[in-house]
């Protein structure tokens, strides 16, 4: 999976950078200010698809940041005034943002200058991706809208744009603010939420009822400054900075109407626009009962097509029990079927970064990473599995479909920041590509894109830079000829060739040299079929010196559950600059060498 922050991938159409009626100051033609629009659009993605860019990289699914029409500017958000270039400030759920769409199709046919034409362009992108054998995942937000209403703090009935109190009010624990009024700032598209009733689009009737355009559907409780890190329930009911929180309490008067409205909207995107799945944002900020209802009703609406779609979510938490909770229904004892299909594995992400994200030749211990991987099939003290082992409609469970990643667009952001070498970045991506789950790459990592302003140990958004810049940036030829692109492509090809790298179980083998007083930076594991006939061994070396997995004092062997008799371990891929190691007997002590700052994949195969 390849995650593209659409506004920051490629500006394929210069004519949509300042849509009609939009405040021109929201666009930065120099593509330097990360808080402003920089011009990336659907045409930029389409051009890359047409050129075979994603196919050459080995991508089989594109995850695009939210494409729906947004509020274009917000005051007093995190860090001050910003634009909605990223897509997470929805204003109209059944329109595609005009910053992203074009007036003409790739064939030159005109699109109508309205929501119908913009949706047609989006559907064309999905069809193009499918023609290239690539699925499309739509990023969606059900927790909040953009700043579509204001708090009339001074009671004058006018949205005072320079007044912070009208953008952000302190959290009201009891009750709600009754002074909310719809915004009306067309140049920023800060207006009443849409749709406000049924729509006809792409030849179908979408029976929305206007629930999103009723103020009573929102909590209107203001913002709690430390809510992002809370788990006491306040994070579920407050605004998200100046964004407007939906009231998702199952006891709420509009709960069923809100669930049904979102089901109606997203069955349209899945059925008619043709997207292949949803990545759901800010899940822990929504009442769990809402997810039970939404996922069940959406799958029922999809019918047999549900087996071909994936629903996975973002739960910004490192606790596997908290992450896995969303793959279970709240009433799991009576209904053990999956709620979400899967989640992004932040537990893995945090521990993998602790192992590899260090400046220069430094590295951490992989011991915590090994433990975090084992939590995927682990259980709590009552023996209740963290992640739901019951298969979904496609026959796969949440453990198999978990999303493995090491960087993204949020605060943890880009893996490669100041001090992190290109080689270490490639090693991190190789680790992601060889572990269980669905590997997810962040745009630009295939070029070792550097966030020079980012620092290890600090969160920030500076990694959201433009990739294919209009001036002074790399060309597609430059990117495709670089070592990072080549390594990811080779790893993707190997995953396609070796089923054990896609679906095999994980067997940890080695996390340290026991005879040494210090960590040696080596992490080794096996991936194996259930019957033990097919297996591979992966060895990661974070050190800047060649390492060996075991020595005379401390040896490792493949477990007896694998059919190793008469087989050898043959290196089939080596990343980095090192030479491929020799073959080894699979049924003997594994003294496996691995070059400096490299990853080696060994395949269990019959000796010739």
Q: Residue 441 forms beta bridges with which residues?
A: 2
The reported pLDDT for the residue numbered 512 is: 73
Span 267-284, pLDDT tens digits: 999 999 999 999 999 999
CA atoms within 13 A on the CB side of 431: 32
For range 310-331, the mean pLDDT: 96
Whole-number percent of the chain with pLDDT over 90:
89
pLDDT at 305 over 70: yes
Question: Please, which pLDDT band fits residue 240 given cuts at 50, 70 and 90?
Answer: confident
CA distance linking residue 587 with residue 603, whole number of Å: 13
CA distance linking residue 406 with residue 352, whole number of Å: 7
Q: Are 313 and 343 in contact (CB under 8 A)?
A: yes
What is the β-pairing status of strands 199-201 and 204-206? antiparallel
pLDDT at 457 over 90: no
Helix, strand, coil fractions of the chain, as percent rounded to 5: 30, 20, 50
DSSP SS3 for 71? coil
pLDDT at 229 over 80: no
Span 81-132, pLDDT tens digits: 999 999 999 999 999 999 999 999 999 999 999 999 999 999 999 999 999 9
CA atoms within 13 A on the CB side of 422: 12
Tally of CB atoms within 10 A around 145: 27
Peptide bond into 195 cis (omega under 30): yes
Span 244-267, pLDDT tens digits: 999 999 999 999 999 999 999 999
Q: Are 29 and 61 in contact (CB under 8 A)?
A: no
Helix boundaries (H) for 346-449: 346-356, 367-374, 422-434
* Lookup: tokens for 357: 């994200």
What is the β-pairing status of strands 73-77 and 90-96? unpaired
The reported pLDDT for the residue numbered 288 is: 94
Q: Are 524 and 592 in contact (CB under 8 A)?
A: yes
C-alpha radius of gyration, the chain, whole number: 25
For range 325-340, the mean pLDDT: 96
Q: What is the DSSP code (8-state) at residue 218?
A: B
Instruction: Write the DSSP assignment of 341-409 as a string of letters.
Output: SEEB-HHHHHHHHHHH--STT----SHHHHHHHHGGG-B-TTS-BSS--S--TTS--TTTTPEE-S--S
The reported pLDDT for the residue numbered 552 is: 62
Q: Are 144 and 239 in contact (CB under 8 A)?
A: yes
Which among 281, 160, 270, 149 is positioned nearest to 216, based on CA atoms? 149
pLDDT at 513 over 90: no
For range 365-391, the mean pLDDT: 95
Q: What are phi and psi of 307, to 5 degrees?
A: -65, -20
Q: How far apart are the first and last CA of the chain?
A: 36
User: Given its phi and psi angles, is residue 457 left (phi above 0), alpha (psi -120 to 50 degrees) or beta?
Assistant: left
Task: Measure CA 51 to chain center.
Answer: 24
Question: Please, which pLDDT band fits residue 80 given cuts at 50, 70 and 90?
Answer: confident
CA distance linking residue 150 with residue 244, whole number of Å: 9
Which among 327, 302, 512 is positioned nearest to 402, based on CA atoms? 327
Q: Are 291 and 283 in contact (CB under 8 A)?
A: yes
Contacts of 41 (CB under 8 A, 6+ apart): 6, 7, 10, 11, 12, 13, 16, 99, 100, 101, 102
Give the angle 190-193-197 at the CA atoms, nearest 5°.
Answer: 145
Span 485-495, pLDDT tens digits: 999 999 999 99
For range 475-481, the mean pLDDT: 97
pLDDT at 515 over 70: no
Span 534-582, pLDDT tens digits: 999 999 999 999 988 876 667 889 999 999 999 999 999 999 877 888 9
Buried/exposed 189-205: b ≥16 CB within 10 Å, e otherwise: bbbbbbbeeebebeeee
Question: Please, which pLDDT band fits residue 518 given cuts at 50, 70 and 90?
Answer: low
* Lookup: tokens for 330: 């709240």
Which among 435, 449, 287, 457 is positioned nearest to 362, based on CA atoms? 457
- What structural domains does the chain harbor? 2-72+82-141+258-496 (3.20.20.80), 503-606 (2.60.40.1180)
Q: Which residue has the tokens 């620092």?
A: 455
pLDDT at 1 over 60: yes
CA distance linking residue 413 with residue 553, whole number of Å: 41
For range 198-227, the mean pLDDT: 94
Q: Are 606 and 586 in contact (CB under 8 A)?
A: no
Q: Which of 230-244, 306-320, 559-573 has the lowest mean pLDDT?
A: 230-244
Q: What's the mean per-residue pLDDT of the chain?
A: 95
Whole-number percent of the chain with pLDDT over 70:
98
Q: What are phi and psi of 458, to 5 degrees?
A: -125, 140
581, burial (CB in 10 Å: exposed 0-12, middle 13-18, buried 19+): buried
Q: Are 58 and 496 in contact (CB under 8 A)?
A: yes
CA distance linking residue 90 with residue 102, whole number of Å: 20
What is the β-pairing status of strands 535-541 and 547-548? unpaired
For range 143-152, the mean pLDDT: 97
């Amino acid at each position: 999976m390849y995650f593209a922050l659409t506004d920051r991938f490629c500006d394929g159409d210069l004519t949509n950078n300042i849509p009609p009626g939009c405040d021109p100051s929201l666009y930065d033609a120099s593509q330097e200010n990360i808080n402003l629009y920089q011009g990336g659009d659907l045409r930029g993605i389409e051009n890359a698809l047409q050129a075979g860019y994603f196919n050459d990289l080995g991508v089989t699914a594109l995850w695009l940041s939210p494409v729906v029409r947004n509020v274009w500017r917000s005051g007093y958000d995190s860090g001050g005034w910003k634009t909605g270039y990223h897509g997470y400030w929805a204003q109209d759920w059944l329109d595609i943002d005009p910053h992203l769409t074009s007036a003409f199709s790739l064939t030159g046919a005109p699109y109508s200058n309205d929501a119908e034409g913009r949706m047609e362009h989006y559907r064309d992108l999905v069809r193009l991706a499918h023609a290239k054998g690539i699925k499309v995942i739509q990023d969606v937000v059900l927790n909040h809208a953009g700043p579509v209403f204001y708090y009339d703090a001074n009671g004058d009935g006018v949205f005072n744009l320079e007044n912070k109190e009208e953008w952000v009010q302190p959290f009201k624990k009891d009750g709600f603010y009754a002074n909310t009024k719809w915004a009306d700032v067309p140049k920023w598209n800060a207006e009443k939420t849409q749709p406000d009733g049924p729509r006809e689009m792409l030849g179908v009737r979408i029976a929305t009822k206007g629930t999103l355009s009723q103020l009573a559907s929102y909590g209107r409780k203001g913002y709690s400054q430390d809510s992002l890190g809370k788990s006491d329930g306040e994070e579920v009911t407050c605004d998200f900075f100046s964004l407007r929180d939906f009231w998702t309490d199952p006891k709420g008067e509009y709960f069923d109407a809100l669930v049904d409205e979102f089901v109606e909207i997203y069955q349209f995107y899945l059925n008619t626009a043709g997207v292949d799945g949803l990545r759901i944002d800010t899940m822990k900020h929504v009442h769990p009962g809402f997810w039970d209802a939404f996922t069940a009703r959406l799958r029922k609406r999809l019918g047999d097509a549900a087996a071909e779609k994936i629903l996975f979510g973002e739960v910004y938490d490192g606790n596997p029990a908290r992450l896995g909770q969303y793959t279970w229904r709240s009433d799991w004892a009576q209904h053990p079927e999956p709620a979400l299909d899967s989640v992004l594995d932040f537990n893995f992400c945090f521990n993998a970064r602790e192992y590899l994200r260090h400046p220069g030749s430094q590295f951490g211990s992989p011991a915590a990473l090994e433990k975090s991987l084992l939590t995927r099939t682990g259980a709590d003290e009552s023996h209740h599995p963290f992640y739901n082992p019951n298969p979904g409609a496609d026959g796969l469970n949440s453990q198999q479909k978990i999303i493995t990643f090491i960087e993204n667009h949020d605060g943890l952001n880009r893996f490669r920041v100041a001090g992190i070498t290109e080689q270490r970045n490639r090693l991190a991506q190789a680790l992601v590509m060889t572990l269980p789950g669905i590997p997810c790459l962040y745009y630009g990592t295939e070029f070792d894109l550097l966030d020079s302003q980012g620092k290890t140990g600090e969160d920030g958004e500076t990694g959201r830079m433009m990739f294919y810049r209009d001036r002074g940036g790399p060309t597609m030829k430059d990117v495709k000829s670089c070592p990072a692109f080549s390594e990811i492509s080779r790893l993707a090809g190997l995953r396609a060739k070796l089923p054990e790298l896609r679906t095999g179980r994980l067997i940890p083998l080695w996390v340290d040299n026991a005879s040494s007083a210090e960590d040696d930076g080596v992490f080794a594991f096996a991936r194996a079929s259930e019957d033990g006939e097919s297996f591979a061994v992966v060895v990661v070396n974070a050190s800047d010196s060649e390492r060996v997995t075991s020595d005379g004092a401390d040896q490792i062997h493949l477990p007896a559950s694998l059919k190793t008799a008469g087989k050898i371990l043959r290196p089939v891929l080596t990343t980095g600059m090192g030479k491929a190691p020799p073959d080894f007997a699979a049924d003997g002590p594994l003294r496996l060498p691995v070059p400096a700052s490299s990853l080696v994949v060994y395949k269990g195969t019959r000796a010739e």
